[in-house]
Amino acid sequence: MIHMSAILFRRISMLFIVAFLLGLGKTVTIPANGAASLNDLGLQQLVEVKEKQFGVRSGYRFEILARSNPFYLDINGGDAANVPIMSNRLYVLGEAGNYGIGMGVMKHTAGLVYNRTNFMSGLLDVFDHDTQTFFLDNTYLRTGNWALSAGIRGTRIVNTADGEKDYSGWTPNVSIGKLFQPGTRQSLWIRWRNSLTFSEITGLAVDGSPFKGLTDDRLNHWSSGLGFTHGWAFAKNWTLDSRGSLDLSQYSKGANQDRNDKLLNLGTAIQWDFLRYFSMAGFLDYSRRFSNLDKYSFSNWDGGVRLNADIGF
């Protein structure tokens, strides 16, 4: 009655092994191209669902990368600035919700992200910094794979050399997105996002500064942008993730009055999930900013490897 090959044992989850041992039934192995003939009634694929309404996800990411323009300047910063950069990130996310409203479901997410960036050169270690982020996100997922989100993000940048807070800001945001699934192994998110940033930048706007307009709020801006994220599981445990976005920003305070930027971001990463909670990836990112104030234009390449550990419970 119960016939299972060694190959089958490797392929099915422990849950089903237990079920089989309890005498659930027998298996028949069929080729993938034979599955289409089963659809008179509809394919009945066994799944496990998450019943709980709350969840926690935590992780760590290590990156080492080469950056062509470490300070995002419109001029060549010189060879001295071209040093490897190390990044260590810890994060914890709390999720609640999954409750139905109308034709959709609401999810709430709160997260803390701590990121330390180190320039791997003694000359540049005065620029080492921590980026601390807190965010709240409320997403309404609707049938048809539409997602409406509203949230707020708070960011602080602290110089690790002197402990000074260089920047802090709050960014309320709203977005609308749609998920497309061209096949079982691919997904494509397209999203339009709008945000307003209220910020405070310190360090340069000191008394007696020869520069004009370096007010604390000069980085306040609104931004609107279209972006995509594409995921492709092209082989077992291997995925190719690509993303791109074009954001328009308008500044109105201090030295940045009437500044308008267009920021293009493109990136791709090939990831290998080598253990249940661990993965590594190689990545390549490109950024280019066009600003009506030339000194804020730049282009930059990032390339490197990263190691991820992620667990959810």
Q: HSE (CB half, 13 Å, CA atoms) of 299?
A: 2
Q: Which is nearer to other proteins, 6 or 43 (CB)?
A: 43
Q: 83 or 141: whose CB is closer to other proteins? A: 141
- Smallest gap from residue 147 Cβ to other proteins (A): 10
Nearest to 197 by CA among 182, 217, 176, 213: 217
Q: Cβ 184 to other proteins, closest distance in Å?
A: 9
CB burial of residue 53 (10 Å; 0-12, 13-18, 19+): exposed
Q: Which residues contact 276 (CB under 8 A, 6 or more apart)?
A: none
- What does the binding site for other proteins look like in residue numbers (CB under 8 A)? 1, 8, 11-13, 16, 23-32, 35, 38-51, 98, 100, 103-105, 141-143
CB of 145 to other proteins, least distance (A): 8
| Cα 130 from Cα 86, distance rounded (Å) | 12
Report the alpha-carbon distance of residue 246 to residue 175 in Å, rounded: 14
- Cβ 278 to other proteins, closest distance in Å? 18
- Pick 29 or 76: Cβ nearer other proteins: 29
CB of 276 to other proteins, least distance (A): 12
CA 263-267-273 angle, 5° bins:
150
The residue (of 30 and 226) whose beta carbon lies closer to other proteins is: 30
Please say which residue, 15 or 309, places its beta carbon nearer to other proteins.
Answer: 15
